[in-house]
């Protein structure tokens, strides 16, 4: 402590010694360096942001304790358990050699945040993925069973509900768009199951994308220590407001190295509002347009000073974008006056807007700036939303399939213009699960028959054959497979 205090004193002295030879030096606005040092000693600050650096022993002895006392009771532990069945369970042949197979239990531990006095809890999707039972434990030791109101894998968010006679403590949801790099934040959660822990840091970056965490691409980066178990916990600003849900870290060791990521609170608010309205999934606004990022070569060709924006690559007929006059080749540079750096940023900005509202998009079209107003609509369900369950003993047995529509494509995290018959759900103990199918796979062909309707797939899967040849599209690539079954 003495060494630290002496260092501060020496540093201040060196500034004061350096000033006399520079007293007449002026900054761009006519203020001498002596005045600048005087401002620092008096606790001067940047008038444009109403922020200043801490200065002096008194300010360095300030504590986050009052802020932690106000917010920590609303941060909870989330315990998820899942019964895992052996694929040989109930098979007489294997039980003859290995005995009766019993289900085993898998469990996961994470954190969550109470955001409504009625007991609404926000956590990460990956904390409760495939869980059969989810319990929530408060900081005072009380434990509650929970109901899942909404979960969205693409955003890595889930909304739970717990019940008690009295109101629960909450953290108010703040405005994550007001954050700036350098702002102080606290991360509260339950790392490694050691108990509720608070760490401090700053906002290291904003709008981080292409992290491989989920389909969502607009994260807050912080150097506040986040470790396994912190997932779903709170990132809190100095006003005691929730500004993010901690979700992932970048680490080669499994522990914190000062690079953590949180989902912005404005996205969290939109998901919570969807859960409150009774929806079990998060409905994103539909524009009826596809976008790509602008690289350096495109930027030069388009006359942009920097590679930023989202270029329109396709327009759906009769969609909101077409009705608003948006055309392929247009570059979206701003929404409601906020700059758009890439398609991920555009997707985030759109998702945080209320359904039924309108937004102003600023476009660059052949060197001219154009502003259009676009209504935000729900994606159309299509002419047939009927789902078909495939039975029998084919490779597709145990799947639920449906005709793709913009709405279904959105839920399956596919391009909204995707067409065909997609797998919606898979029974975990089915032949289809053993083959390796995933929700979102588009079945293109089975034994030489083109699949254009769910009934066509059902008929093809009923064939009496041992050999199966089929083509499935996944992530834009078509796989041609042969299986003996």
Mean pLDDT of the chain: 83
In this prediction, residue 82 carries a pLDDT of: 77
Q: Which of 126, 204, 214, 394 is catalytic?
A: 126
Residue 393 corresponds to which tokens in the numbers above?
A: 């003993």
Residue 401's beta-bridge partner residues?
Answer: 388, 423
Catalytic residue among 156, 223, 344, 441: 156
> What is the tens place of the pLDDT at every residue in 206-218?
887 765 555 566 8
Phi, psi values for residue 199, rounded to 5°:
-125, 155
How far apart are the C-alpha atoms of 43 and 56, rounded to whole Å?
9
* pLDDT at residue 5, rounded to an integer: 32
pLDDT grade, residue 42 (50/70/90)? Answer: low
The answer to whether residue 327 scores a pLDDT higher than 50 is: yes
Cβ proximity of 271 and 294 under 8 Å: no
Residue 168 tokens, joined = 């629960």
Max Cα-Cα span within the chain: 96
The structure tokens listed for 299 are 């930027």
Q: What is the pLDDT of residue 2?
A: 35
Active-site residue (options: 214, 231, 290, 405): 231
Q: Phi, psi at residue 351, to the nearest 5°?
A: -65, -25
Determine the average pLDDT of the residues in 308-324: 91
**C-alpha to C-alpha distance for 260 and 250, rounded to whole angstroms:** 6
Least confident of 45-54, 376-385, 403-412, 468-477: 45-54
List pLDDT tens digits, range 416-451.
788 999 999 998 788 898 889 999 999 999 999 999
What domains are defined for the chain? Answer: 2-62 (no CATH), 68-283 (2.40.10.120), 289-375 (2.30.42.10), 387-484 (2.30.42.10)
Residue 430 annotated to the active site? no
User: Is residue 61 classed exposed, middle or buried when 0-12, 13-18 and 19+ CB atoms within 10 A define those classes?
Assistant: exposed
- 18 pLDDT higher than 50: no
pLDDT computed for residue 229 by the predictor: 83
Q: Is 156 a catalytic residue?
A: yes
Residue 484, SS3 per DSSP: strand
**pTM to 2 decimals?**
0.74
Active-site annotation holds for 126:
yes
Better-scored residue on pLDDT, 429 or 23: 429
Predicted confidence (pLDDT) at residue 24 exceeds the cutoff of 50 = no
């Amino acid at each position: 402590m003495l060494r630290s205090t002496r260092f501060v004193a020496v540093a201040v002295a060196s500034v004061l010694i350096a000033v006399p030879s520079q007293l007449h030096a002026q900054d761009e606005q006519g203020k001498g360096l002596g005045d600048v040092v005087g401002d620092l000693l008096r606790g001067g600050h940047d008038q444009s942001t109403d922020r200043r650096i801490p200065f002096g022993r008194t300010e360095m002895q300030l504590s986050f304790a009052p802020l932690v006392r106000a917010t920590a009771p609303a941060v909870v532990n989330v315990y998820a358990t899942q019964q895992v069945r052996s694929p040989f369970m109930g098979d007489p042949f294997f039980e003859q050699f290995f005995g009766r197979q019993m289900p085993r239990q898998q469990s996961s531990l994470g954190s969550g945040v109470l955001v409504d006095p009625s007991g609404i809890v926000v956590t990460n999707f990956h904390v409760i993925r495939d869980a059969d039972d989810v319990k929530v434990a408060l900081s005072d030791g009380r434990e509650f069973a929970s109901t899942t109101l909404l979960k969205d894998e693409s955003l890595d968010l889930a909304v739970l509900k717990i019940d008690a006679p009295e109101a629960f403590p909450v953290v108010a949801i703040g405005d994550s768009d007001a954050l700036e790099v350098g702002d102080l934040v606290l991360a509260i959660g339950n790392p490694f199951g050691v108990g509720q822990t608070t760490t401090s840091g700053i906002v290291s970056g904003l709008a981080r994308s292409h992290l491989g965490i989920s389909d969502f691409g607009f994260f807050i980066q912080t150097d506040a220590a986040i470790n396994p178990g912190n997932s779903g916990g709170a990132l809190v600003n100095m006003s005691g407001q929730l500004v993010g849900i901690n979700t992932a870290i970048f680490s080669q060791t499994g522990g914190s190295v000062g690079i953590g990521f949180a989902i912005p609170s404005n996205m969290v608010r939109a998901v919570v509002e969807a859960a409150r309205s009774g929806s079990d999934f998060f409905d994103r606004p539909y524009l009826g347009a596809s976008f790509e990022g602008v690289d350096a070569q495109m930027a030069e060709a388009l006359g942009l000073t920097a590679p930023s924006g989202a270029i329109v690559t396709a327009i759906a007929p009769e969609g909101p974008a077409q009705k608003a006059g948006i055309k392929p080749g247009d570059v979206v540079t701003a929404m409601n006056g906020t700059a758009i750096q890439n398609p991920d940023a555009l997707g985030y900005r759109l998702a945080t807007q209320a359904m039924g509202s309108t937004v102003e998009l600023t476009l660059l079209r052949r060197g001219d700036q154009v502003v259009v107003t676009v209504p935000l609509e729900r994606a159309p369900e299509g002419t047939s939303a009927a789902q078909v369950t495939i039975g029998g003993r084919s490779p597709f047995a145990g799947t639920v399939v449906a005709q793709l529509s913009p709405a279904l494509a959105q839920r399956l995290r596919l391009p909204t213009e995707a067409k065909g018959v997609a797998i919606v759900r898979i029974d975990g103990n089915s032949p289809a699960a053993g083959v390796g199918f995933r929700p979102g796979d588009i079945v293109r062909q089975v034994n030489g028959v083109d699949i254009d309707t769910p009934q066509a797939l059902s008929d093809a899967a009923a064939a009496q054959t041992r050999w199966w040849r089929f083509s499935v599209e996944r992530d834009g690539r078509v796989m041609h497979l042969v299986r003996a079954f």
